[in-house]
Amino acid sequence: MSDNRNLIVGIDLGNEVTQVSYLNPKNNIVESIFPDATRQEHAIPTVLAVVNGKREWLFGQEAVECGDQKMGYVVRNFLDYPEKTLAIWDTEVSKVFLIEKFLRKVLLLVKKQFPEDAIQKLVVTIKHLEVELIDQIYEALKNLGILKDRVRIISHAQSYLYFALSQKKELWMNDVALFDLDDEGLMYYQLSIDRRNRPVVVGLQAKDFKDMLQYEEI
């Protein structure tokens, strides 16, 4: 691997879909990586599959199609698995193994686009900061050669906060809102700025509207 560590990469690791982006070192603009250039879709289904008879692992859309065609064992929603191990045919695999397998495939997309560069910093966003899942992600990345000093794991709410504050001051000095709709339902977040303190304190106010709107209704 190259010692030229100049890539800043972000992975939004969701239970349904995952997205990967990077800070382009040439123009300092954040861009998304498309797993399939012909489809122009940056969302990667968070799905793994093992092809029948081959023990070959697929991920993303290929894994979904493998399941649709009944060609292998499909693993979905593995981030939410309450158990630490899963039986695939006659083999026990760990949840860390599944996360590692998926992240390896995702990071290969980055490597394909930047074959001569290495990751300087990796930020992984997840919906909820659950200690067990955080530890499992760190362990999976360690197995891939990316140690904790190069990784930061944050929540979707934190990511929204950092994104809003990185914009021009005129855009976040007043009300800024985020509507977050996923398979759990609708959440509303609003930037909160307390100007009575010095330095100014910025936080988030959250409201749960899951009882009003569910993903299945869209």
User: Mean pLDDT throughout 165-189?
Assistant: 82
Convert the pLDDT of each residue in 78-136 to its tens digit. Answer: 998 887 888 887 788 999 999 999 999 999 999 998 898 889 999 999 988 999 999 99
DSSP 8-state class, residue 33: P
User: Mean pLDDT throughout 47-75?
Assistant: 92
Give the containing element (helix H, strand E) for 201: strand 201-208
Q: Which residue has the higher pLDDT, 64 or 55?
A: 64
Cβ burial 23-56 (10 Å sphere, 16+ → b, else e): beeeeeeeeebbbeeeeeebbbbbbbbbeeeeee
Greatest Cα pair distance, the chain, in angstroms, is 65
Residue 174 has pLDDT above 90, yes or no: no
The C-alpha atoms of residue 119 and residue 4 are separated, in whole angstroms, by 8
Q: What is the pLDDT of residue 3?
A: 61
CA 151 to chain centre: 13
% of the chain beyond a pLDDT of 90:
45
Q: Which two tokens stand for residue 15?
A: 């239970």
Record the pTM.
0.87
Q: What is the pLDDT of residue 90?
A: 79
Classify 2 as helix, strand or coil.
coil
Task: DSSP for 103-147, please give it.
Answer: HHHHHHHHHHH-TT-EEEEEEEEESS--HHHHHHHHHHHHHTT--
**Closest CA relative to residue 35, chosen from 45, 26, 27, 25:** 45
Residue 26 has pLDDT above 60, yes or no: yes
